[in-house]
């Protein structure tokens, strides 16, 4: 099976499952606890019926739009995804290039594996920086300043991941950063050696958005401990309002699910709202973003653009 054999998301998933060692595949494919929310996210879209209007004399199709001051050729963007070079050695290099090719935005994760400055220098596509709020307020300011200097267009504060999710698949395989694999997990790497060859023969794996500010190397701090020890669960609306003011540009809040929170986000100056349950990877049992879309758009669709995270 090759990329040319992939015609939809299910095909890409099948190809990934064939090529990736099981711990890596299950990390990107899985969700929290029983994965009920993760399944509902897909089912919400599958249950929608389209009712097209016909005979409208359409000759030219224009899908372009403008959101948070960014002009896009498509009404979709590439949402930020962590650790991309774990799944393919090109990682964000490839996804940013795809976004540029189709004229849309590209999201850079705080846990990204290519620096946002490098991506901004290479690709003209607008970038969104997906940011986590730390206990150290000075660290937050320093990271935002670094984003500005790197040419980031939109700041996206993620508020649905104050603590790491209980991902049972990872517990079974021993997946973590750094790796602490079970015997079964190690065997999976042995039977799919191309992943390891690519990992070792290409640029060294790193987390450049964090490496300048946080020690993420060695055994000192795993990804799970980063969420547990460094992110601030006491973050509140006053903190976000100060961050909006400090950033001084297009600011988006990602992880909103209730009408009340969406209204508050618009009131404090957020220019974009992303409805998200983090793909069902943090909290199982959440309602889907798509099912909340209509109600929230009716409440705040004028002051702030609203988008469901799929």
DSSP string, 118-162: HHHHH--S-EEEEE--BS-HHHHHHHHHHHHHTT--EEEEE-S-S
Residues in a beta bridge with 109: 130
Residue 278 falls in the annotated catalytic set? yes
Measured CA to CA, the distance from residue 289 to residue 43 in angstroms comes to 12
From CA 27, how far away is CA 223, in angstroms rounded? 12
Q: Which of 89, 93, 123, 278 is catalytic?
A: 278
Q: Is 113 helix (H, G, I), strand (E, B) or coil?
A: coil
Token couple for 19: 């090529």
Contacts of residue 174, defined as CB under 8 A and 6 or more positions apart, other chains included, come to: 23, 180, 181, 182, 185
Q: Tell me the catalytic residues.
A: 278
């Amino acid at each position: 099976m090759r990329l040319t054999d992939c015609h939809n998301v299910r095909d890409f998933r099948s190809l990934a499952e064939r090529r990736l060692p099981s711990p890596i595949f299950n990390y990107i494919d899985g969700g929290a606890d029983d994965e009920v929310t993760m399944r509902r996210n897909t089912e919400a879209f599958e249950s929608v019926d389209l009712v097209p209007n016909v005979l409208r004399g359409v000759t030219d199709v224009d899908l372009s739009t403008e959101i948070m001051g960014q002009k896009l050729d498509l009404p979709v963007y590439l949402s930020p995804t962590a650790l991309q070079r774990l799944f393919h050695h090109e990682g964000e290099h490839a996804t940013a290039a795809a976004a540029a090719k189709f004229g849309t935005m590209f999201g850079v994760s705080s846990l990204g594996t290519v620096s946002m400055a490098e991506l901004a220098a290479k690709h003209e596509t607008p970038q969104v920086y997906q940011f986590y709020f730390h206990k150290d307020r000075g660290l937050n300011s320093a990271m935002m300043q670094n984003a500005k200097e790197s040419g980031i267009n939109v700041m996206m504060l993620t508020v649905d991941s104050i603590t790491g999710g209980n991902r049972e698949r990872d517990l079974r395989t021993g997946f973590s950063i750094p790796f602490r694999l079970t015997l079964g997990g190690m065997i999976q790497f042995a039977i799919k050696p191309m992943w390891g060859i690519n990992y070792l023969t290409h640029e060294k794996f790193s987390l450049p958005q964090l490496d300048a500010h946080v020690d993420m190397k060695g055994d000192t701090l795993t990804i799970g401990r980063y969420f547990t020890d460094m992110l601030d669960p006491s973050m509140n609306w006053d903190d976000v309002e100060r961050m909006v003011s400090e950033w001084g540009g297009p600011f988006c809040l990602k992880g909103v699910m209730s009408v009340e929170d969406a209204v508050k986000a618009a009131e404090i100056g957020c220019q974009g709202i992303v409805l998200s349950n983090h793909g069902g990877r943090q909290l199982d049992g959440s309602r889907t973003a798509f099912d909340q879309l209509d109600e929230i758009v009716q409440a705040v669709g004028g002051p702030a653009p609203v988008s469901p995270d799929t």
